[in-house]
Amino acid sequence: MISRRQLLALVALTLMWGINWPMMKFSLRELSPMYFRALTMSCGALFLYSWYRARGLRMLPQGAEWKSVVAIGLPNMLGWHTVSILGVKELASGRAAILGFTMPIWTVLIGVLFLGEKLTRRVALAAVAVAIAIALLTAGEFTALTGRPLGIVWMEIAAVCWAIGTLMVRRAHLTLPVETLTIWMMILTSACLWLIALASEPWPSWQFSVAMWASLAYGAFINYGFAQTLWAGLARHLPPATSAMSVMAIPLVGTLSATLIVGEWPHWQDFVAIAFVMAAIAAVLLPPRAPRLQGKTA
């Protein structure tokens, strides 16, 4: 049974991660994508390192643990965060959130296609629902005057990267704390992002508006920082159904909050796509109902 404190924390976490999508879009008005990711992730990683070190967590991987950090970090952290920000740049932030959160379905489908996991009816229905959602949003992008369907490709590549990383975490025999794994993946990824940014984008002026600095602080210390600590505390104790409901709500929060933050008005395709993606997430993440036992008659 989830406590009131856990419920409030989960609602706060869902709002933080949902609102982060239009906040990213807002930041890209004044800062290029790779510098945005490099700056916010670096600050977030330093925040988390200091936070967990002060609490006595083992912070330094040892020996073969570094191999796990690099191997899992390549798709789960570098792949997802590099490619998804390109998708956010091309798309409305709400649409990027909807497409990004097809990642749980990709996790299951990759397991079925390449790892011998069982194809259930629920997985098949989830795949169909996601395909319908992507088709709706793709059609919407092609018909829009400023449509950029390439952003859909970026977001689905990012979702696949996240899914591969998740499968690797599930099958890895980790001996270091998950928090330590996450922090070092962030540190190494942010170093790579600085190099990518320096090689591919002009050096920023760093003369931003007050609202822009607030948006960067949100990305660094709320999205990468405080929200991560909340999730680390909740993930061990939440039932799967509760976690799934949170994941399902994030694209909806992102789509609705985008109207207030960046002035993006969702279309009917967005709401229908949200419904299909939420249904797909429910199909693959919510546990099946236990069959009812019929009472014996005397």
Residue 140, pLDDT above cutoff 70:
yes
Cα dist from 132 to 126, 137, 205, 266, whole Å: 10, 9, 42, 17
- What is the arithmetic mean of pLDDT over 267-277? 94
H-helix segments, 91-226:
93-100, 103-114, 121-143, 150-171, 178-200, 210-217
pLDDT value, residue 138: 87
Judged by phi (left if over 0) then psi (alpha if -120 to 50, else beta), residue 56 lies in: left
What length does the chain have? 298
Cα–Cα distance for residue pair 185/166, rounded to 1 Å: 13
- Read off the pLDDT of residues 21-33 as tens digits, 9 standing for 90 and up: 999 999 999 999 9
Structure-model confidence comparison of residues 122 and 1, the more confident one: 122
- Report how far residue 212's alpha carbon sits from residue 34's, in angstroms, rounded to the nearest whole number: 16
Count the Cβ atoms, other than its own, within 10 Å of residue 145: 4
| Joined tokens for residue 161 | 């990267």
pLDDT at 65 over 70: yes
Residue among 276, 275, 152, 218 at smallest CA distance from 20: 218
The ranges assigned to domains in the chain are 4-285
CA dihedral 114, 137, 91, 282 (to 10 degrees): -50
pLDDT band at residue 291, thresholds of 50, 70 and 90?
low
| Of 1, 77, 6, 5, residue with least CA distance to 235 | 6
What phi, psi does 64 have (nearest 5°)? -70, -10
pLDDT band at 139 (very low <50, low <70, confident <90, very high): confident
Single-letter code of the amino acid located at 182: T
Q: What does pLDDT average to over the chain?
A: 91
Task: pLDDT band for 231, please (50, 70, 90 cuts).
Answer: confident
User: Is residue 100 scored above 70 in pLDDT?
Assistant: yes
**Does the CA dihedral 145-150-153-155 come out positive or negative?**
negative
Instruction: Retrieve residue 72's tokens.
Output: 């899992």
Are 281 and 104 a contacting pair, CB within 8 Å? Answer: yes
Phi and psi at 177, nearest 5°, equal: -60, 145
Longest Cα pair distance anywhere in the chain, in angstroms? 82
Residue 96 structure tokens:
């990027």
